[in-house]
Structure 1
Amino acid sequence: MSPRSAAVNEELRRRSRERLLQATVELVDERGYEATTLADIADRAGAARGLVSYYFPGKRQLLQSAVHRLMHRELAAGLEREPCTTDGRERLARAIDAILGLARDRPRLMRTHMAGMLTAEGFIQCPEQQRLAFLLRDTVARYGSADPDTDYRMLRALLMGAVVAILLPGAPMPAEQLRAELFQRYGLAWGLGVPPSAEPPAEGF
């Protein structure tokens, strides 16, 4: 049997990494961060335990990459859903709704992710984060930003703050109110994106 080509080996490595990232999202969502071990992740992914350490220096880094992958995929799906559009305001509305939707639908996972970025490791650069950054930067550019690099960072900060506010234990803010604040900031009509209700919340909600 002839040895596998470099391209085949690269594809196998990519698939193994993808399985580990998917398994991490599933298990942390189901069990929580502390109850999920690297061995559990490897078992769920059908991979050798040593493969986890080959790709990631630790569980915290693995989780960040896994959640950034999920965010990237959700954002891409939201931006490209039917009917497809190139309208910058509609795409920004979809982006906001995609990220806020993750806070609503995956509270345990997103709370763990946000808490992890406040640890000593901080914000970790990885291929998944770079894909997410590209989509957000492209979104503000299509919206009409004259300085997409700066405005992308502002949008990222505002979205992170909104997610934290939604998930804050004991004092969560309503997602609809946060959506309304973001839409007002960017001059977006409430009916753009995927509105959670026919009308925005009343002032002072």
Structure 2
Amino acid sequence: MSPRSPEVNEEMRRRSRERLLDATVELVSEAGYEATTLADIADRAGSARGLVSYYFPGKRQLLQSAVHRLMHRTLQAGLEREPRTDDGRELMARAVDAILGLAVSRPTLMRTHMAGILQAEGFVQCPEQQRLAQLLRETVVSYGSRDPDADYPLLRSQLMGAVFAILIPGAAMPPSRLRADLFQRYALDWHLGAPPGGEPPAAAVREAPVRG
């Protein structure tokens, strides 16, 4: 049997890494962070335990990469869903809805992720985080930003703040109210993106600022 080519080896490594990321999302969503071990993740992924340490320095870094990948894939699916569009306002609305939607649909996972970011390690600079950042930056460019290097971090911080507000135990804010506030900030009509059912909050119908 001839040895595998470098391309085949690279593809196998990519798939192995992605199986670990998928398993992490599944297990932490089901059982929480503390109850999930690296051995559990390796077993769910069908991988050797040593591969986890080969790809990731520790469980916290693995979780952040897994959540950033989930966010990237969710955001990409939202931006590219039918009907496809190049309209910057619609893309901005879809981006907001995609990220807020994860806080609603996967509260345990996203709460754990936010808690990890607030620890000393902060953001993990991994390929998944970089792909997420690139998508958000492209959204800001499509929206018409004249200074995406300044506007992208602002959008990121506003989305993180909204996710955090949705997830605060005992003091959570309604996602629709936070959506309304973000839509007002970016002068977006309530019907753009994937609007929730029911009447929009008052903030959504106030006169929105006009983009320059």
TM-score (norm 1): 0.98
Contact 2:23 2:41 in 1 (8 A): yes
What CA distance in whole angstroms lies between the structure 2 residues aligned with 1:203 and 1:6? 55
Contact 1:88 1:143 in 2 (8 A): yes
Match of 1:43 in 2: 43
CA deviations on 1:138-170 (whole Å, 9 max, x unpaired) are 000000000111101000000000000000011
Contact 2:22 2:66 in 1 (8 A): yes
1:90 is aligned to 2:90: yes
SS at match of 1:123: coil
1:6 is aligned to 2:6: yes
Which residue identity lines up with residue 109 of structure 1 in the other structure?
Answer: L
Q: Which runs of 5+ in 1 are unaligned?
A: none
What CA distance in whole angstroms lies between the structure 2 residues aligned with 1:198 and 1:114? 29
The runs of 4+ residues in structure 1 deviating greater than 6 Å are: none
Match of 1:31 in 2: 31
Which residue identity lines up with residue 119 of structure 1 in the other structure?
Answer: Q
What CA distance in whole angstroms lies between the structure 1 residues aligned with 2:135 and 2:185? 20
Contact 2:181 2:203 in 1 (8 A): no
Match of 2:141 in 1: 141
Contact 1:20 1:42 in 2 (8 A): yes
SS at match of 1:57: coil
Instruction: Compute the displacement of 1:203 (Å).
Output: 5.0
Match of 1:175 in 2: 175
RMSD: 1.0
Aligned-pair identity in percent equals: 78
What CA distance in whole angstroms lies between the structure 1 residues aligned with 2:9 and 2:70? 24
1:106 is aligned to 2:76: no
Contact 1:75 1:95 in 2 (8 A): yes
What CA distance in whole angstroms lies between the structure 1 residues aligned with 2:69 and 2:136? 13
SS at match of 2:74: helix
What CA distance in whole angstroms lies between the structure 2 residues aligned with 1:118 and 1:135? 23
What CA distance in whole angstroms lies between the structure 2 residues aligned with 1:121 and 1:60? 9
SS at match of 2:3: coil
Instruction: Compute the displacement of 1:32 (Å).
Output: 0.1
Q: Which runs of 5+ in 2 are unaligned?
A: 205-212
Contact 2:180 2:203 in 1 (8 A): no
Match of 1:156 in 2: 156
Which residue identity lines up with residue 66 of structure 2 in the other structure?
Answer: A
1:71 is aligned to 2:81: no
Residue correspondences, number: 204
SS at match of 2:195: coil
Instruction: Compute the displacement of 1:76 (Å).
Output: 0.2
SS at match of 1:138: helix
